[in-house]
Amino acid sequence: MSENVFEDAFNRVKSIGKSAKVSPEIIDGLMHPKAIMTASLPVRMDDGSTKYFTGIRCQYNNVLGPTKGGIRYHPDVTLEEVQALALWMTIKCAVVGLPYGGGKGGIIVDPKELSPMELERLSRAYVRAMADFIGPQNDIPAPDVYTNARIMGWMADEFEAIKRVKAPGVITGKPVRLGGSLGRDDATGRGAYLCILELAKKQKLAPEKTTVAIQGFGNGGYHVARLLQNEGYKIVAISDSKGAIYRKAGFDVDSIYKEKQKSKELKAVYCDHSVCELVEHETISNSELLELDVDILIPAALEGVITKENAKNIQAKYIVEVANGPVESDADQILDDKGIIIIPDVLANAGGVTVSYFEWAQNRQGFAWTLEKVHERLGHIMRSAFDDVWNLAEKEKRSLRDAAYTRAIRRIGEAIEAHGTRDYFNS
């Protein structure tokens, strides 16, 4: 990760915006977050003591609609990281055409050190601090790293208790019985999977001959692995925060996931019903996984894992960014020069926010959609966005990342110009 991830994100937008011939006034507007809230969150611990945690929420840009973005629980959360993630979310929503701006939040905490009751108290404390900052018409949080549907349910419940209203649209990614949407659980991975299917059509990839390595086996990493394997792709490497496993013949993804849920460890296993057996494999590091000779590399963990230092060692033909910002901006040119095609995060992982939008829309309508309808509409949005970005890249001789950012910045620019810019007022 770069020393200042926000500066990295900032420079990427500035550079691409300039090459896309977007008005400097519009680019300058994207350099300034709309509002940031930081709060100390007092939490009563199980032993009776009180600990204080820092909570952050950034509403980056709301030109296209209310701000939208996840809340992550991680010891390395920083203000700069939250701002960068909120900027990326602004771009992401514009890429796929959602009526949202970008936001993001986080708490500086290692959630693995908290009991379930401490985790609930922390989640509710965050909402108490942010209750006047978030809202279904203003800023809508969602799950992110180390947060899930249950935590979103606690947060929505706390907001409703404070406001004394039923407001399911304040949070997305909730449990289905609390107003969540069917299809939200695998939406991020499914969105990336849909992008890979479109890429395969463009590049004439045969699934059974295509090898895939996935760094990160959380929600996004698992579901894209599962869906790709069901399609016939060979998943040869998987990792979590502790390390990676590699097997040239490939793995059974569901067996590994089942064992990880049971033992909390990543093990190379094959399960037949309740009986799981170890299979032959190599144990490698996360950095070694990134440098494997595979067709598709999927970074699905945290940002900044591919840098100018290791970019020259990347052997994959395609990179699909399920994580936010896994490739630093100064590594992009190195990868482009090597002929590696990157499906950028602002397109590849947009499935999550898209189905969050569906959940918000259902909450506002008071009508639940079927899973088939969710998958159909997600497929339409992801395929349409992918084709638009691909065609723009070909037309203007740009990388897919440059094309995605160009598409987003121009959309945001059109909204800003509708209010009037310097050119209008000086005409």
Q: Could you give the 3-state DSSP secondary structure of residue 212?
A: strand
Mean pLDDT within 413-421: 84
How many other C-beta atoms can be found within 10 angstroms of the C-beta atom of residue 165? 10
pLDDT digits (tens, 9 = 90+) for 312-322: 999 999 999 99
Mean pLDDT within 207-220: 95
What is the distance of C-alpha 35 from the center of its chain? 21
- The Cα–Cα gap between 365 and 201 comes to 36
The architecture CATH gives domain 29-178: 3-Layer(aba) Sandwich (3.40)
How many other C-beta atoms can be found within 10 angstroms of the C-beta atom of residue 203? 12
CATH topology identical between 29-178 and 187-348? yes
pLDDT digits (tens, 9 = 90+) for 267-292: 888 887 777 788 889 999 999 999 99
User: Does residue 204 surpass a pLDDT of 50?
Assistant: yes
Taking the CA atoms of 244, 249, 254 and 260 in sequence, report the sign of the dihedral they define: negative
Residue 1 confidence class, pLDDT cut points 50, 70, 90: very low
Pairing of strands 101-108, 50-61: antiparallel
- The Cα–Cα gap between 164 and 158 comes to 10
Domain boundaries, the chain: 29-178, 187-348
Q: Quote the pLDDT of residue 426.
A: 80
User: Does residue 136 surpass a pLDDT of 60?
Assistant: yes
Any idea what the Cα angle at residue 393 is, between residues 391 and 395, rounded to 5°? 65
pLDDT digits (tens, 9 = 90+) for 82-135: 999 999 999 999 999 999 999 999 999 999 999 999 999 999 999 999 999 999
Active-site residue among 34, 104, 174, 234?
104
Residue 3 confidence class, pLDDT cut points 50, 70, 90: low
| DSSP symbol at 63 | S
Using a pLDDT cut of 70, give the percent of the chain over it. 99
- The Cα–Cα gap between 103 and 35 comes to 9
Catalytic residue list contains 104: yes
**Cβ(265)–Cβ(237) below 8 Å:** no
Using a pLDDT cut of 90, give the percent of the chain over it. 81
User: Does residue 409 surpass a pLDDT of 80?
Assistant: yes
Mean pLDDT within 400-427: 88
Mean pLDDT within 179-187: 96
The architecture CATH gives domain 187-348: 3-Layer(aba) Sandwich (3.40)
**Cβ(86)–Cβ(324) below 8 Å:** no
Average pLDDT of the chain to the nearest whole number: 94
Q: Quote the pLDDT of residue 423.
A: 75
Higher pLDDT, 277 or 162: 162
Q: Quote the pLDDT of residue 155.
A: 98
